[in-house]
Amino acid sequence: DSGVTQTPKHLITATGQRVTLRCSPRSGDLSVYWYQQSLDQGLQFLIQYYNGEERAKGNILERFSAQQFPDLHSELNLSSLELGDSALYFCASSAGQTSYEQYFGPGTRLTVT
């Protein structure tokens, strides 16, 4: 158990809908990261927040957005969902901004039908 929690574990929704994935980092960690793992691709970095502020951005679609709240939990919002958004979404956390180990949560499996 890494200490990172993610909810929900599974999510099934229809195309065009909007969902919110939630992540609570390990106690004391200030950085939160979101990753997407699709069937045909490896882990893809989406976005990083550090102490409430966006720090780095990957190939995150405009339909996706994220934020980190004052209590350091983070939410990833996915809207206008398409079949291709079906994937495993991981959240990770680390103590600092760079070069620290990242601790991964159990992931949220999103299925868009």
Partner 1 sequence: ILNVEQSPQSLHVQEGDSTNFTCSFPSSNFYALHWYRWETAKSPEALFVMTLNGDEKKKGRISATLNTKEGYSYLYIKGSQPEDSATYLCAFILTGGGNKLTFGTGTQLKVEL
What minimum distance in Å lies between the beta carbon of 19 and partner 1? 20
Q: How far apart are CA 25 and CA 15, in angstroms?
A: 29
What minimum distance in Å lies between the beta carbon of 55 and partner 1? 4
* Binding range to partner 1, per CB under 8 A, among 7-15, 17-25, 53-61, 78-86: 53-61
* Binding range to partner 1, per CB under 8 A, among 19-27, 62-70, 75-83, 92-100: 92-100
Q: How far apart are CA 60 and CA 50, in angstroms?
A: 17
Asked if residues 43 and 102 have their Cβ atoms less than 8 Å apart, the reply is no
